[in-house]
Amino acid sequence: MSSTVKSSGNVNQLGLAMADYKGARSTLCAGCGHDAISSQISRTFFEMGVNPYRVAKMSGIGCSSKTPAYFLGRSHGFNSVHGRMPSVATGAVVANRNLICLGVSGDGDTASIGLGQFCHMLRRNIPMVYVLENNGVYGLTKGQFSATSEMGARLRGGAVNDLPAIDICKLAIEMGCSYVARSFAADPRQVVPLLKGALSHNGTAVIDILSPCVTFNDHDESSRSYSWGKEHEELLHQIDFIPHFEQLPEIDYAEGEMQQVELHDGSVIQLRKVEKDYDPTNNAHAFKMLRETREAHEFLTGLIYIDPSASSFIDRLNLVDDPLALLDEKQLRPGPEVLDQLMEEFM
Amino acid sequence: MSIVKEQTPAPTADGSEVGEIVNEFSIQVATVNGSGSQSANNVLMRAIFHMGVPVSGKNLFPSNIAGLPTWFTIRASAKGFIGRKKEIDILVAMNRQTVRQDVESVEPGGIVLYEEKLKASQFRDDLIYFPIPFSALAREIVEDSRLRKLVTNMVYVGSLAEVLGIPMAQVRRGIEDWFKKKPKAVQLNVRAAELGSEYVAENFQRDSRFRLRQMDKTKGKIIIDGNSASAMGCLFAGVSVLTWYPITPSSSMAETLASYLNRFRIDPETGKATYAVVQAEDELAAIGMTLGAGWAGARAMTTTSGPGISLMAEFAGFGYFAEIPCVIFDVQRVGPSTGLPTRTSQGDIFSLYFLSHGDTRHLVLLPANMTECFDMAWQAFDLAEEFQQPVFVASDLDLGMNNWMADPFEYPQGKLNRGKVLDKEELERIGEFARYKDIEGDGIPCRTLPGTEHPLAAYFTRGSGHDESAAYTESPEAYTRLMDRLSRKHETAKTRIPQPVVELPQGAEIGVIAFGSTHWAIEESLLQLKREYATELGYLRVRALPLTGHVKEFVERYDRVYVVEQNRDGQLAGLIRMEIPENAGRILKILHYDGLPIDARFVTDQIADAEGLEKE
Ligand SMILES: Cc1ncc(C[n+]2csc(CCOP(=O)(O)OP(=O)(O)O)c2C)c(N)n1
Ligand code: SF4
Ligand SMILES: [Mg+2]
């Protein structure tokens, strides 16, 4: 169950319709996981009543990175260069701290060419939602293995991956990321609340989403296929997201059945226990769980780690409240007396 | 030439003597890197500056933190020549490793002050020697061995002051300037300088060959390095996002700018910053952040040198195609990796102009002096936002890290030029928006900033494949239109960038073209050629790329035009030949590429030789 925003008819609290959160027609292959995620993004932003004019959609290069054209058509988008979206996003949010930044990347874009920038984005804790559309291959260059592919994975043509996978969630926690989640493109009931939580977080929120490439990596043996995902997905917990503008529902849960995490903007994530005991605010737990599930070839999804008290890069820069990009000449260019003073120092 | 031996300086007569050289010579100080000689050399330079004598200081340093040889050259020039002078008249020898080589480099009849223990006088007998126990003198006032090393340097400043006639008051002023807020350090260093000066007064008769005398040629002038000048230009450009990755010789620009921003760009009411400085993880990230910030509407910049420029190539092309303003400072140095990263060069001209893949041509500003380092820095931001593209400012190590005299900078005229940015009200008024449409015929489209609250504002930014409304396309026609519009924009830019400075003396038959720091050698060489060979030359100094029609006009005036630059292959000459192939045959190259700043004598000799000129 994910919460919906109270809206009159088919518009949200800004008076915008779902259609206002859609983008151009997708040119991806029919059935591509990335398209499913695009719809979930549209829905999330619609339900959260996010002002699309404040959103900056950032991406690198790949099929996944093309998708920002296919949602939030009223928002500015930036399809940058391969693997370097984090730096562009950093510059954009530093220049305008009011932007709501959403990054979309692929596993090639993030885990290979962009690994360095990905790590440094996390280290800085750039305020943005970072969606990794993970299909285990390079879709756009026609199906080569990516660095998140499992060791021993086999492509339809017979090629075998003989290198170990990089676990993006584990890496993210190691790099100090304070919101780390894993999900499945075919599970909108989970993707949407995770995206909402990410939007309410202060800092980089990484969501690693299994997003099958129907053209190059969706055969039955592939651990990045729809069928594998459906068979293996195990929920860490049931997630409910209650936005800050809504009342918390009053339901009694038995002790230990439910954990509430209050997010930076006052919204709350409710995690209802499924089978295992799992506390996503405990980073040692998170590491242990990620290691064990990898060894057991399990596909556990949910909110893996969260530290709602993290401070972001923007907090640390001690910036004025107004966006740097909008400061006027008087705020930007010191007066002639400053030049005189400096000239004096060099005489 | 009188040969004067150790301990027996030439007797001096009073008054202005025959052979006396006043305010026109060069001093070289040879020390070990990391010995703290920088303070001493700066004090010396400033003392001369305060005497009213035009002066410049060049630091020739190794790529090393401590231990390798380093040299500092001070040139005093009553005539105002502050480029490099290769000939060394006065040597201060402090480094055992290089003492022989140092002594051999002095002009016959020159002066050598040296640490007594180095026995410098054994190598030549046509110089005037002053053996001085610098470190022993320093020991008299400092116990601590580390501190003593630093103070030893100030002893030679005092000794040299006595030999050349720099009043102690000026040395004191130089010391006070340098150690501004540390009264203890001032006291100690003044004492050290006095010791050096007293030792010379007591032990030697004054040599009169080289003298410094008070003049008034530095009154109201400043002495500054190009990186500080550019940093100041950026401050007054209103830069609000600085990203950088450390690399010599550009680091000091970013660091100086960061300190200016911290002093002058904190909102007094809230104590909050109206700027952000981000030390990036590498140059790819530095330019990525700069483009992101420029796209979002901030005045954004990054500083680097050649290796960083190479890493920025992909993004530079992206910025050109997606039309995003930002400013990139390249303080040029010699080629790749280790070896000569602390030596100067003008070798990035090709790579800057064409940086990227595909058809790309950038705007490149080429400052030659301190005033231009300042002016072009703020102008670059106006051009970047006016033309919506990355603008490069290419200085070099010689300009950037050495000390040059200049007139005080003038406050930028006019308002910041923020370019064609449509805000909410404007969009409402116009009622339509197509990001890449050329409305005014100048090739420059309008842009909106993310965050603009208007249904028309949004557009999608990407590399090469976009039509006028920024929609994705692979249409051959749309791409050709885009490329042609970008060419049109480039043509418009030719009318807005800094134009060449041209001198056309009457009767000149040959011409010279140069840019950047080479200017100083050219200016002095032109006078040498006139004085020594009675030959006058036309001179055009390129101040920006693209090249404009002025260059063609200039070349067509002369039978032969020498393009003088500090790289091996003649990169500017290559660009000129490419632009005006019909005149390619007239373009000849004079190239200096040993890592040291070019000097006037080199240019004069090359031109005289090539032209077969006879001395008057
Ligand atoms: C510098 C550079 N190198 C290589 C490429 C070619 N390239 C385009 S997309 C891509 C891989 C994309 O893979 P991924 O990020 O996983 O995205 P997907 O297509 O799978 O969604 C590559 C290697 C490029 N565009 N730029
Ligand atoms: S190639 Fe794969 S990743 Fe790319 S659009 Fe097709 S299905 Fe999606
Ligand atoms: Mg992929």
Mutate to test the pocket of ligand 1, among A35, A82, A142, A208 (most ligand atoms within 8 A of CB): A82
Distance A235 CA to ligand 3 centre (A): 23
Q: According to the model, what pLDDT value does residue B18 have? A: 56
Chain B positions touching A88 (Cβ under 8 A) are 288-289, 291-292, 295
Q: Mean pLDDT over residues B433-443, rounded?
A: 97
CB contact under 8 A, A320 and B274: yes
Q: According to the model, what pLDDT value does residue B11 have? A: 34
Rounded CA separation A314/A321 (Å): 10
Q: According to the model, what pLDDT value does residue B33 have? A: 81
Rounded CA separation B381/B376 (Å): 9
Nearest-ligand number for the alpha carbon of A28: 2
CB contact under 8 A, B222 and A346: yes
What secondary structure does DSSP assign to A66-122, as a single string? HGGGGB-TTSEEEE-STT-HHHHHHHHHHH-TT-EEEEEEEHHHHHTTTHHHHHHHH
Rounded CA separation B120/B104 (Å): 10
Rounded CA separation B162/B130 (Å): 12
In single-letter form, the type of residue at position A167 comes to D
Q: According to the model, what pLDDT value does residue A297 have? A: 85
Rounded CA separation A4/A117 (Å): 35
**pLDDT at B228 > cutoff 90:** yes
Angle at CA B315, nearest 5°, toward B314 and B321? 95
Ramachandran category for residue A143: left, alpha or beta (phi over 0 → left; psi -120 to 50 → alpha): left
Q: According to the model, what pLDDT value does residue A275 have? A: 74
Rounded CA separation B573/B70 (Å): 33
Tokens encoding A47: 């339900």
The CA R_g of chain B, rounded to the nearest whole Å, is: 27
Q: For chains A and B, what is the number of CB pairs under 8 angstroms?
A: 217
Helical H runs in B25-144?
Answer: 37-50, 99-104, 134-141
- B224 to chain A: closest CA residue: A346
Q: According to the model, what pLDDT value does residue B207 have? A: 62
Q: Please, which residues have CB within 8 angstroms of residue A322's CB and are 6 or more apart in sequence?
A: none
Residues written for chain A: 347
Rounded CA separation A185/B555 (Å): 65
* B290 contacts B324 by C-beta, under 8 angstroms: no
Mean pLDDT of chain B: 93
**pLDDT at B347 > cutoff 60:** yes
Q: How confident is the model at residue B9 (pLDDT cuts 50, 70, 90)?
A: very low
- B434 vs A332, B79, B385, B456, B470, CA distance in Å? 29, 57, 18, 9, 7
Rounded CA separation B612/B616 (Å): 13
Rounded CA separation A100/A50 (Å): 9
- What is the sign of the dihedral through the CA atoms of A107, A111, A115 and A120? positive
Above pLDDT 90, what percent of chain B?
Answer: 86
- What is the sign of the dihedral through the CA atoms of A223, A225, A231 and A233? positive
- Closest residue by Cα to residue B564 from B537, B601, B603: B603
- B173 to chain A: closest CA residue: A347
Distance A56 CA to ligand 3 centre (A): 22
Higher pLDDT, B82 or B102: B102
CA B588, chain centre distance (Å): 25
What angle do the packed helices A85-95 and B283-296 form, to 10 degrees?
40
In single-letter form, the type of residue at position A211 comes to S
Q: According to the model, what pLDDT value does residue B181 have? A: 79
Residues written for chain B: 616
Rounded CA separation B528/B521 (Å): 10
Question: Tell me: the pLDDT tens digits for B547-557?
Answer: 999 999 999 99
- Pick the atom of ligand 1 nearest to A133's CA: 21
Q: Dihedrals φ, ψ of A31, to 5°?
A: 95, -5
- B516 vs A111, B248, B341, B387, B544, CA distance in Å? 43, 18, 19, 23, 10
What would the CATH number be for the domain defined by B501-611? Answer: 3.40.50.920
| Structural domains in chain A plus CATH codes | 18-326 (3.40.50.970)
HSE-CB for B8 with a 13 A CA cutoff:
6
Question: Tell me: the pLDDT tens digits for B182-196?
Answer: 899 999 999 999 999
- Scanning the structure block, which residue is given the tokens 């919506």? B388
Question: Tell me: the pLDDT tens digits for A2-15?
Answer: 444 444 569 999 99
Beta strands A144-145 and A137-138 are antiparallel
Distance A94 CA to ligand 1 centre (A): 27
Q: According to the model, what pLDDT value does residue A2 have? A: 40
- Pick the atom of ligand 2 nearest to A135's CA: 3
Query: CB-based burial of residue B585 (10 Å sphere; 0-12 exposed, 13-18 middle, 19+ buried)?
Result: exposed
Q: According to the model, what pLDDT value does residue A1 have? A: 36
Q: According to the model, what pLDDT value does residue B206 have? A: 65
Rounded CA separation B104/B89 (Å): 11
Higher pLDDT, B292 or B7: B292
Q: How confident is the model at residue B144 (pLDDT cuts 50, 70, 90)?
A: confident
**pLDDT at B584 > cutoff 50:** yes
Rounded CA separation A162/A44 (Å): 38
A137 lines ligand 1 (CB under 6 A): yes
Distance A133 CA to ligand 3 centre (A): 7
| B501-611 and B224-406 share a CATH fold | yes
Q: How confident is the model at residue B3 (pLDDT cuts 50, 70, 90)?
A: very low
What secondary structure does DSSP assign to A227-271, as a single string? HHHHHHEEESEEEEEE-TTSPPP-----TTSEEEEE-TTS-EEEE
Tokens encoding B555: 């070349």
* B326 contacts B319 by C-beta, under 8 angstroms: yes
Q: According to the model, what pLDDT value does residue B145 have? A: 83
List the beta bridge partners of residue A268.
Answer: A242, A262
Domain boundaries, chain B: 21-211, 224-406, 424-494, 501-611
Element (H, E) at B484: helix B476-494
Q: Please, which residues have CB within 8 angstroms of residue B440's CB and are 6 or more apart in sequence?
A: none
- Write out chain A's pLDDT in tens, 347 residues: 344 444 456 999 999 999 999 999 999 999 999 999 999 999 999 999 999 999 999 999 999 999 999 999 999 999 999 999 999 999 999 999 999 999 999 999 999 999 999 999 999 999 999 999 999 999 999 999 999 999 999 988 889 999 999 999 999 999 999 999 999 999 999 999 999 999 999 999 999 999 999 999 999 889 999 999 999 999 999 999 999 999 888 777 777 788 999 999 999 999 998 877 899 999 998 999 999 988 888 899 999 999 999 999 999 999 999 999 999 999 999 999 999 999 999 99
The CA R_g of chain A, rounded to the nearest whole Å, is: 21
What would the CATH number be for the domain defined by B21-211? Answer: 3.40.920.10
Distance A140 CA to ligand 2 centre (A): 7
Helix, strand, or coil here: A179?
strand
* B107 contacts B30 by C-beta, under 8 angstroms: no
Beta strands B24-32 and B21-22 are unpaired
Rounded CA separation B373/B595 (Å): 21
* Least reliable range by pLDDT among B57-71, B400-414, B486-500: B57-71
**pLDDT at B36 > cutoff 80:** no
Q: Please, which residues have CB within 8 angstroms of residue A76's CB and are 6 or more apart in sequence?
A: A55, A56, A57, B448, B449, B450, B451, B457, B458, B459, B460, B461
Q: According to the model, what pLDDT value does residue B4 have? A: 33
Q: Mean pLDDT over residues B347-359, rounded?
A: 96
- Scanning the structure block, which residue is given the tokens 């259609």? A19
Residue located nearest, by CA, to atom 26 of ligand 1: A82
What secondary structure does DSSP assign to B414-437, as a single string? S-----SB--HHHHHHH----TT-
A83 lines ligand 1 (CB under 6 A): no
Residue located nearest, by CA, to atom 8 of ligand 2: A32
Helix-then-strand count for chain B, H and E:
20, 23
- Closest residue by Cα to residue B536 from B515, B563, B509: B509
Q: According to the model, what pLDDT value does residue A52 have? A: 97
- B315 to chain A: closest CA residue: A81
Question: Tell me: the pLDDT tens digits for B275-332?
Answer: 999 999 999 999 999 999 999 999 999 999 999 999 999 999 999 999 999 999 999 9
Q: Please, which residues have CB within 8 angstroms of residue A104's CB and are 6 or more apart in sequence?
A: A37, A41, A57, A58, A59, A64, A65, A67, A68, A131, A133
Query: CA A180, A186, A188, A194: dihedral to nearest 10 degrees?
Result: 0
A28 lines ligand 1 (CB under 6 A): no
- B388 vs B270, B446, B594, CA distance in Å? 32, 9, 37
**CATH number for domain B224-406, candidates 1.10.1740.10, 3.40.220.10, 3.40.50.970, 3.10.50.40:** 3.40.50.970
- B448 to chain A: closest CA residue: A76
Helix, strand, or coil here: B575?
helix
Rounded CA separation B363/B127 (Å): 51
Above pLDDT 70, what percent of chain B?
Answer: 97
**pLDDT at B358 > cutoff 50:** yes
Q: According to the model, what pLDDT value does residue B254 have? A: 98
